[in-house]
Every structure is written in structure tokens, then in C-alpha cells.
Amino acid sequence: MNDVPAPTLTRETMEPYWLPFTANRKFKADPRLFVAAEGMYYTTADGRRILDGMAGLWCVNAGHGQRKIVDAIKAQAERMDYVSSFGMSHPLAFEHARQIAAIAPGDLDHVFFANSGSEAVDTSLKIARAYHRARGDAGRTRLIGRAKGYHGMGFGGLSVAGMARHRKDFGPLLPDVDHLSHTHHPEKNAFSRGRPAWGAHLADELEDLCQIHDPSTIAAVIVEPVTGSGGVLPPPVGYLERLRRICDRHGILLIFDEVITGFGRLGTAFGAELLGVQPDIVTCAKGMTNAAVPMGGVLVSRKVWDGFQQGPESAIELFHGYTYSGHPLACAAGLATLEVHRDLDLYARTRREAQVFEDAAHALRDQPFVVDIRNIGLLCAIELAPRADDAGARGLAVNRHCFDAGVLIRNAADTLVMSPPLIIGDGEIARIFDTIRDALARLS
């Protein structure tokens, strides 16, 4: 990895690229540039090795540069670059769907391919509405999300998500949407390990929404089984079970957005398995291809699939799809990813390492400004008290310190977030949390 080409970027040559979710002018004045990645590490343009504490963006679950994945993508690019999936396909797409269905919990046995988490989410919302309509229940159009939820950047996902700043600039979103409250209650649950004990009753708000809107108008409830971008919030014990029961009582579909929790992050193939609650629909992306080729997916239960099989055999069941649905390179990457997961016994390994990760995280509970630590699987958040005069400054300062010390983490305002590749070892876990400890000691 020493033969990395020196970048020739200047302020001018960087100008045309509009980076997402980035202060572009500030970034271009002092860019953070990465040029290579292998295993647990990135290499920056100035030749520094950076321990990846975020698996890229919660997505490179099997670590960077996995040989089997790289080779599979290369081979498929040589064999066939592209074929449409509208009325035609290629063998790897079927095999990929089959292997995903085989590891999915319960009867989530059909897979619709998209190209990102955002597309997967919008697809899932459309499937939910179309399912009811196909069964003659077209009045069910309302969608219920949750505060602090993140479901990508499409208008559908944005509508059911619960982050005010993400919605603010974009005018009216989908009508007929409502939200449950979030489950972030450090005053009750601070420093819980795994699922917090308090808060199952918060799910009963769904019953309240049913009384307000009439349950026969509600198509689906969508939640992340563990809130991710909203600050790593494992569900309170019993919460998802209650949501499931209320959905069943009223004929509402339950969608789990597993874009982060899918493909091993919690130590099981999907979060639903660890959490013991069976959704009707699951969205996934990110770890699905180890992020080597963009891909998203929607898994549907037998009940949902059967709901679409009412018309004649010659009828298209769902008027929806993308040019790149089931893209050959993505399927090749996805199949190789699953093979790597099996080779490494990655989910069992994750369950073991999650224990070390939890202990290392909670060892910081008495450090300056720490008000909560939350974790589940290889996901963790450390929440800091905000500075009275400058909310977010402490989170940013820790992030900067860590980066300068060679460790990549994220901060959402004053909440530090860690979601490393699942191949992480004890030494790397120690390094991440030791570096955060040093950063906290320097905070004012």
C-alpha cells in the first residue's frame, strides 16, 4: 500500500465536486482525503494510516479490500457489465436473492433489489401501500415513523424519518405521515448495556395514533430496530414486541429498516433475529455488498409476497424498479460478501467481540463530560454534555483529536459514534477507546 499516487488536487480542481452532507468551502480549504484502504485501516493522502472506527459509514462490515469481493467484482465486470432487470435478468441475481432469503429470519423469503438504503426505504413504503391496495384495502395509506429515525434521503424516507434539520429545507413532504416518540431517555436509562430496561410502554403510542387516525388508514410502521444515525439507541426491552402486537391487532405492516443492523452488525445476520421480533418487511443496504458496489434490498414476508399474487400470471405485480436493480457487479459483490462472512464466521465473531467492545466503551463512564454510553453488537455511542455556549463543539473536538491521532470515529453533535468493521480485534478496540479517553481529558 506504499505505491499510492500523490494527489494533485488544488482548491480550483476540487471546486466542481459538491460533496454531500459537507460544508464544502470549509472542506476544500482543509480536505480530508483518503487514497487507500485495507482491513481495518485507511491510508490518507499524506500517507497516514487511520484506524477505521466507523466501517466507512457503517457499511464495510467485513473490513476493507476483501480479496474475494474484489476478485468477484473484477470477474463479473469482465464477464458481463450490465443487463436490465425489467423482464430479464442474470443468474447471480437469483442466487443472491436465494442466499439472502436463506439467512433472513422467519419467512422473509423474497428480495427486491435497489441501489441504496434510501431507495430500499422508499421501495418498502411503496410495497406496503401497494400490498394493501392489492388486497382491496386501498384506504390504508398512512405511514408511521419515529422521532430520531433516519431512513435516507428520498422524499419517502425523509417523510417518515424524525430529524428536523434534514427536513427543514425541502418544503412539504409526504402527507398522511405521523411519528412515534423516540426512545432516548438518559434520565431513565443512562449507561445501559445493550437494551435499556425502561421504555417498553413508549410503543403504546402506536395505539394512540390508531385512535387518532383510525387504524384502517394505516399502512405501515417503519422503525430502525436500533436507531443508528439518531444516536445509537437500542430498543427498550419489550418495546419492539409491543409494536409487533399492536401492528397485528390492527392489520398494520411492521417494517424494520436494517440498513445499518443488517449483515452482522449486531452479531446475527439481521437485527430482527437478535431482537426476537419478526417484521413483515426489512430494508437493507450498506454491509450487503461490504459497500464495494452500491446496493440496497427489500425483504418481504410470505404474507406480503402472496398479497401481490392476486392478478393474472401475465400481470406485473409491482410497477416499480430501478435501472440498476440487481446490477451484476452488485450481485457479484454481495455473493462474495456472504461467502466472506461465512469464511470468517463473522456473526459469531461479532458476538464475542461485542463483549470486549462493551466493556471498553463503558470503562469511559467516569471520564469528563460523559453523560451516557449506549451499545449493542458492534455499535456504540458516547454522549457528552454539550458546552453551554457551543453545542456540538465537544463532539467535534473529540472527533478531530481522534483523527489526528489516527482513529476515525463520527460525531452527531456531542454524541460520539463508533461502528467499526466486524473484523476488529481486541487491540484495535482498546486503541479506539484509549484515543477517545485522551481526547476527553483535553476537553474544556
Ligand X SMILES: Cc1ncc(COP(=O)(O)O)c(C=O)c1O
> Which residues are near ligand X by CB under 6 A?
116-118, 121, 150-152, 224, 228-229, 257, 259-260, 285
- Phi, psi for 56 (deg, rounded to 5): 70, -95
| Residue count of the chain | 444
Please report how close the Cβ of residue 61 comes to ligand X at its closest, in angstroms: 13
User: Rounded distance, CA 24 to CA 328, Å?
Assistant: 33
| Direct distance between the N- and C-terminal alpha carbons of the chain, in angstroms, rounded to an integer | 38
Which helix (H) or strand (E) element contains residue 254? strand 253-257
State which residue, 104 or 285, has the beta carbon closest to ligand X.
Answer: 285
State which residue, 370 or 376, has the beta carbon closest to ligand X.
Answer: 376
Please report how close the Cβ of residue 229 comes to ligand X at its closest, in angstroms: 5
Please report how close the Cβ of residue 121 comes to ligand X at its closest, in angstroms: 5
Please report how close the Cβ of residue 297 comes to ligand X at its closest, in angstroms: 11
Q: Measured at CB, which residue is nearest to ligand X?
A: 117
State which residue, 69 or 210, has the beta carbon closest to ligand X.
Answer: 69
State which residue, 142 or 151, has the beta carbon closest to ligand X.
Answer: 151
List, as one string, the DSSP characters of 13-47: HHTT---TTS-HHHHHHS---EEEEEBTEEEETTS
Residue written as cell 405521523?
178
Please report how close the Cβ of residue 283 comes to ligand X at its closest, in angstroms: 7
State which residue, 350 or 435, has the beta carbon closest to ligand X.
Answer: 350
List, as one string, the DSSP characters of 324-361: TTT-HHHHHHHHHHHHHHHHHTHHHHHHHHHHHHHHHH
The type of residue at 261 is T
User: Rounded distance, CA 177 to CA 334, Å?
Assistant: 33
State which residue, 239 or 433, has the beta carbon closest to ligand X.
Answer: 239
Please report how close the Cβ of residue 79 comes to ligand X at its closest, in angstroms: 26
